[in-house]
Amino acid sequence: MALGQPKIEYKSNSEILKMRRAGLVLAEALDEAVAMARPGVRTEELNQAFGKVLERHNATSNFLGYHGFPANICASVNHEVVHGFPSDYVLKDGDVLKIDGGAIIDGWHSDSARTVLVGENIDPADQRLSDITEQAMWAGIAALANARFIGQIGQAVDEFVTSQPGAELGILEDYCGHGIGSQMHMAPDVLNYNSGHRGPRVKPGMCLAIEPMLVRGGIETSVLEDDWTVVTNDKSNASQWEHTVAVHMGGIWVLTAHDGGAAGLAPFGVTPSPIQG
* Residue environment code for 29-38, b if the CB has 16+ CB neighbours within 10 A, otherwise e: bbebbbebbe
3-state secondary structure of 10: coil
**Domain housing 129:** 13-268
Known binding site: residues?
83, 100, 111, 178, 185, 211, 242
Any idea which of 1-5, 117-121, 132-136 has the lowest mean pLDDT?
1-5
Residue 4 pLDDT grade (very low, low, confident, very high; cuts 50, 70, 90): low
What pLDDT was estimated at residue 2? 43
Tally Cβ neighbours within 10 Å of residue 77: 20
Query: Would you say residue 234 has pLDDT above 90?
Result: yes
Residue 101 covered by a domain: yes
Residue 276 covered by a domain: no
Residue 273 covered by a domain: no
Query: Would you say residue 62 has pLDDT above 70?
Result: yes
Known binding site for a divalent metal cation: residues?
100, 111, 178, 211, 242
Query: Would you say residue 5 has pLDDT above 70?
Result: no
Residue 49 covered by a domain: yes
Residue 274 covered by a domain: no
The mean predicted confidence, pLDDT, of the chain is 97
CATH number at residue 77: 3.90.230.10
User: To which H or E segment does residue 80 belong?
Assistant: strand 80-82
Query: Would you say residue 139 has pLDDT above 60?
Result: yes
Residue 3 covered by a domain: no
How many independent structural domains does the chain possess? 1
Instruction: Enumerate residues 6+ apart whose C-beta is below 8 A from 242.
Output: 100, 111, 112, 113, 114, 137, 177, 209, 210, 211, 256
What pLDDT was estimated at residue 277? 74
pLDDT tens sequence across 82-121: 999 999 999 999 999 999 999 999 999 999 999 999 999 9
Which residue from 266, 263, 271, 209 is spatially nearest to 241, judged by alpha carbons?
Answer: 209
Residue 263 covered by a domain: yes
Query: Would you say residue 204 has pLDDT above 90?
Result: yes
3-state secondary structure of 259: coil
Query: Would you say residue 222 has pLDDT above 70?
Result: yes
Known binding site for substrate: residues?
83, 185
At position 145, the amino acid (one-letter code) is A
Residue 275 covered by a domain: no
pTM of the complete model: 0.97
